[in-house]
Structure 1
Amino acid sequence: MRDDKLLTKIGGLLRQAEGTDNDHEAEAFMAAAQRLATAASIDLALARAHDPAARRTASPITRQVQIGKAGKRGLRTYVQLFVQIAQANDITCDVASNSTFVIAYGFEADIDACEALYTSLVIQMVAASDAYLKSGAYKGETARQVVTKGTGYLWRRVVEEKALSPITARLNFQSAFASRIGTRLREARDEQHAEAIRTEPVGAGPGARSVSTAVAMRNKELEVKDFYRTASTARGTWRPNRATAGYSTAARQAGDRAGRRAKIGADREFGGARGVLER
């Protein structure tokens, strides 16, 4: 069931994060948005654990989320950002082979929260990478790339170091940005889990729970996994760094720094061929 009040609260926190120039305030607002999403997820899991009616009305779903148009450069880093956010919100994803969309598997409220976070963060990721390229900081840096060399039967794979091109700089920057965002969101989620477990009623009093927070969340995780196994038709394994143009330490360090400072849109498209998915 969609919780519009929750989405309004998350959206408000994200707008506050985007509207401040203070990095510490932005960090606090972003973490608060993730903790709010996690708290709602915990409440749903507990409700389902204690109320058979809640289990009947709230079950895992699938949703196709459009990432970009075919042929656009760098869609894999957009997907990487979405997947990182999804992993912090109990969602499993299949990815189209051309990275134009993902299919999310999980509870509706979790997917809604994931999309809200992604819509804010993808704009920041693109803006930060644009600013990095415009600054010219990547110029003079290098990227390492594995290439195959040789003739006849004498072929070997070697690592070459080349001047860092703008597209390679952007891809490395955005990949590191996405990874750092994932780390930050998982930390906020884990803090909320720990707080919920620490403050849950214990014993035989009127507020005591027959099912603990930890057990309810574990049961929810297993339910999503079971649903995914029956609903997904994807084949193969998706990896964010496959077929990259090269690896740049400098660009990744810049992207990681931007991900640390991020102030924590996407359009949805339903339907589409399932046969092109990767897992």
Structure 2
Amino acid sequence: MRDDKTLARIAALLRQAEGTDNEHEAQTFMTAAQRLATAASIDLARARAHDRAARERTVPVARQVTIGQAGKRGLRTYVHLFVAIAAANDVTLDVAHNSTFVLAYGFDADIDAVEALYTSLLIQMVAASDAYLKSGDYKGERAARVVRRGSGWRSRRVVEQTPLSPITARLNFQSAFAERVGARLQAARADTCREAARADSARGARRAEPSTAIMLRHKEIEVANFYAAQSTARGSWRAARAGAGYSDAARRAGDRAGRRARLAEQERLGAPRDAIEG
């Protein structure tokens, strides 16, 4: 069951976030977009709990979402961002081995919300990392990577410090950005769920019905069962790694950008991911 009105309201909040120069207002609008997505998810769970017809009509689906073209560098950090957003919105993922696409498992409305948030936040992440590299702040910083020295039984793993390259800086920046944005969205979801729980308590004496937490848990189990029946994936996805090394400086910069994240260029929502340069 798709709720186009809710998706339009989320899109409007993203436009407001992009349209303000005030950092705090932008954060407020982003949080409001996630809270609205969570509220819609709760409404879906409640409708399915009380209406057998809605339960039979609204079932989990699998949807393929393109991340980028094969061979494009940095797709793992794009996937990292998608995974972080999906985790806050009841969507389970399988990831292609080359990170060119994900398979999203969940309810249509939840996947729609994840795609809207992802597209806007991806543009912001790329723009923020571009600005970081252009600033030159990464120059003079060091990256750490584990290498093996020696051969045979005398070989050992050591940490090697090297100058921070632009690609390593970008990957570390974007990975930290994705983690911070995911944490913010999870916090917004938790706030909305707590409000729903308080509302449950307020009406508990008047109405006997499952709590919001129970209804959401039933919804979560249904998605999990659907995923188990449909997925053919082996193993599990791990967060993006900067193959050339790890940089505290770049990650700190990415985390700061994630804290400030504004949802970018609403008019490009739905634009092909391949058009976004990494």
Q: Same fold (TM over 0.5)?
A: yes
Quote the residue 2:12 is aligned against: 12
Dislocated runs of 4+, deviation >4 Å: 265-269
How many residue pairs align between the two structures? 267
Contact 1:42–1:213 under 8 Å retained in 2: yes
Contact 1:90–1:221 under 8 Å retained in 2: yes
Partner secondary structure for residue 203 of structure 2 = coil
Contact 1:18–1:263 under 8 Å retained in 2: yes
> What is the distance in 2 between the residues matched to 1:148 and 1:115?
41
Shift of residue 209, structure 1, vs aligned partner: 4.5
Shift of residue 257, structure 1, vs aligned partner: 0.1
Partner secondary structure for residue 196 of structure 2 = helix
1:263 partnered with 2:258: no
Partner secondary structure for residue 122 of structure 2 = helix
- Unaligned 5+ segments in structure 2 are 264-268, 274-278
Give CA deviations for 1:30-53 in whole Å, capped at 9, x if unaligned. Answer: 000000000000000011011101
Give CA deviations for 1:153-185 in whole Å, capped at 9, x if unaligned. Answer: 422111101000000000000000000000000
Give CA deviations for 1:143-162 in whole Å, capped at 9, x if unaligned. Answer: 00011111344221111010
Quote the residue 1:202 is aligned against: 203
> What is the distance in 2 between the residues matched to 1:51 and 1:97?
40
Contact 2:172–2:242 under 8 Å retained in 1: no
Contact 2:148–2:157 under 8 Å retained in 1: yes
Contact 1:50–1:211 under 8 Å retained in 2: no
Give CA deviations for 1:46-92 in whole Å, capped at 9, x if unaligned. Answer: 11011101100111110000000000010000000000000000111
Contact 1:177–1:256 under 8 Å retained in 2: yes
1:248 partnered with 2:253: no
Give CA deviations for 1:11-47 in whole Å, capped at 9, x if unaligned. Answer: 0101111111111101100000000000000000011
> What is the distance in 1 between the residues matched to 2:95 and 2:124?
22
Amino acid at match of 1:252: R
Shift of residue 203, structure 1, vs aligned partner: 3.7
RMSD between superposed Cα atoms in Å = 1.5
Amino acid at match of 2:82: F
Contact 1:65–1:268 under 8 Å retained in 2: no
> What is the distance in 1 between the residues matched to 2:41 and 2:75?
29
Contact 1:145–1:247 under 8 Å retained in 2: yes
> What is the distance in 2 between the residues matched to 1:157 and 1:4?
54
Quote the residue 1:274 is aligned against: none
| TM-score scaled by length of structure 2 | 0.93
Bigger mean CA deviation after superposition, 209-218 or 223-232 = 209-218
Shift of residue 243, structure 1, vs aligned partner: 6.2
Contact 1:172–1:247 under 8 Å retained in 2: yes
Identity %: 68
Structure with the largest fraction of helix: 2
Partner secondary structure for residue 258 of structure 1 = helix
> What is the distance in 1 between the residues matched to 2:84 and 2:114?
10
Quote the residue 1:121 is aligned against: 121
Quote the residue 1:144 is aligned against: 144
> What is the distance in 1 between the residues matched to 2:64 and 2:271?
10
